[in-house]
Amino acid sequence: MEWYVILSSVFFLLLALFLMGLPIFLSFLLINVGGLYILTGDIKGVLLVVNSMFSTSTSISLAAIPLFVLLGELLFRSGSVRIIFDAVDALVGNFRARLYAVSIVLSTVFGALSGSAMAVAAMMGSSLLPEMQKRNYDRSLSMGTILAGASLAPIIPPSVMAVVLGILSKVSISALLVAGILPGILLATAFLLYTMVRGFLNPDVAPLSESAERPWSERGRTALRAAPFLLIIVTILGLILGGIATPTEAAASGCVAAAIICAIFGNLRLSSLIEALRSTAMITAMIMIIMVCSVSFSQLLNFTGATFELVKLVSALTLPLVLMFIMLQLLPFVLCMFIDQIALMIMLVPIYQPMIGALGFDPIWFWTIFLINMSIGGITPPFGYTLFSLQGASDGIPIQAVYRSVLPFIAIFIAVIAILALVPEIILFLPSLL
Q: Is the pLDDT of residue 365 over 60?
A: yes
Q: Are 237 and 184 contacting, i.e. CB atoms less than 8 angstroms apart?
A: no
Helices (H), 295-320: 297-304, 306-316
Q: Which residue has the higher pLDDT, 381 or 410?
A: 410
Q: Are 233 and 158 contacting, i.e. CB atoms less than 8 angstroms apart?
A: yes
pLDDT band (50, 70, 90) for residue 433: confident
Q: Is the pLDDT of residue 211 over 60?
A: no
Q: Give the tens place of pLDDT for each residue, 168-179.
A: 888 988 899 899
Q: Give the tens place of pLDDT for each residue, 15-69.
A: 788 778 777 678 878 888 888 777 777 776 677 777 777 776 777 767 777 887 7
Q: Output the pLDDT for position 311.
A: 62
Q: Output the pLDDT for position 10.
A: 80
Mean pLDDT calculated for residue range 131-159: 86
Q: Is the pLDDT of residue 220 over 90?
A: no
Report the first-to-last Cα separation within the chain, whole angstroms: 46
Mean pLDDT calculated for residue range 101-106: 83
Integer Cα distance of 251 and 238 in angstroms: 12
Phi, psi of 240 (to 5 degrees): -75, -50
Q: Is the pLDDT of residue 218 over 80?
A: no
Q: Output the pLDDT for position 143.
A: 92
Q: Output the pLDDT for position 81.
A: 67
What is 8-49 written as a DSSP string?
Answer: HHHHHHHHHHHHTT--HHHHHHHHHHHHHHHHHSSGGGGHHH
Q: Output the pLDDT for position 315.
A: 62
> Angle at CA 369, nearest 5°, toward 297 and 163?
55
pLDDT band (50, 70, 90) for residue 212: very low
Q: Is the pLDDT of residue 302 over 90?
A: no
Residue from 276, 344, 327, 218 nearest 66 by CA: 276
368 CB contacts (<8 Å, ≥6 apart)? 176, 179, 180, 183, 420, 427
Q: Which of 143-147, 262-266, 373-377 has the least mean pLDDT?
A: 262-266
Q: How many domains does the chain have?
A: 1
Distance set, CA 321 to CA 315, 356, 374 (Å)? 11, 11, 21
Q: Is the pLDDT of residue 366 over 90?
A: yes
> Structural domain of residue 280, as residue ranges?
3-432
Average pLDDT across the chain, whole number:
81
Q: Output the pLDDT for position 145.
A: 92
Q: Which of 72-81, 107-116, 133-142, 358-367 has the least mean pLDDT?
A: 107-116
How many of the other CB atoms lie within 10 Å of CB of 237? 20
Q: Give the tens place of pLDDT for each residue, 313-324.
A: 766 777 788 998
Exposure of 21 by Cβ count < 10 A (0-12 exposed, 13-18 middle, 19+ buried)? Answer: exposed
Q: Is the pLDDT of residue 369 over 70?
A: yes
pLDDT band (50, 70, 90) for residue 424: very high
Q: Are 356 and 165 contacting, i.e. CB atoms less than 8 angstroms apart?
A: no
Q: Is the pLDDT of residue 76 over 90?
A: no
